[in-house]
Amino acid sequence: MDFDWIDCRFDLKKITPREVEEAFEDPFSIRMLPENESDGGEARYYNLGKTINNRHLFAVFWTDGKRCRVVLCREMIEDEISFYERKNAEWL
């Protein structure tokens, strides 16, 4: 999947594009569709994943199947890390 970094709304100096890609490539990443559709009819998804350096990242993105545009990316909060770890423990 190709990432589209045009009009990125988060600081790419704090979280690099490579780190975002690593979080998406995490074999244990969790992708979810939100409960409510966005007003524009374009589905936004969530990704919870870890980088190679064990940095937990939460991302909001949309995709057309070929391209992925990350709308928001930040470090996970404590509850999200707990959810990520709990879900991964269930799969083992």
Q: Using one digit for the tens of pLDDT, what is the confidence trace for 11-70?
A: 888 999 999 999 999 999 999 987 666 556 678 899 999 999 999 999 999 888 888 999
**What is d(CA 35, CA 45) in angstroms, rounded to the nearest whole number?**
10
**pLDDT at residue 81 is higher than 90:** yes
Hey, where are the domains in the chain? 2-91
Q: What is the mean pLDDT of residues 72-92?
A: 93
Residue 83 pLDDT grade (very low, low, confident, very high; cuts 50, 70, 90): very high
**What is d(CA 47, CA 31) in angstroms, rounded to the nearest whole number?**
4
Note the pLDDT of residue 35: 66
Q: 81 or 35, which is more confident? A: 81
59 burial (CB, 10 Å; 0-12 / 13-18 / 19+) is buried
User: Tokens 């939100």 — which residue?
Assistant: 34
Note the pLDDT of residue 92: 66
**What is d(CA 25, CA 11) in angstroms, rounded to the nearest whole number?**
20
Nearest 10 degrees: Cα torsion 60, 62, 65, 66 = -90
Residue 6 pLDDT grade (very low, low, confident, very high; cuts 50, 70, 90): confident
Phi, psi for 44 (deg, rounded to 5):
-110, 140
For the entire predicted model, the pTM comes to 0.87
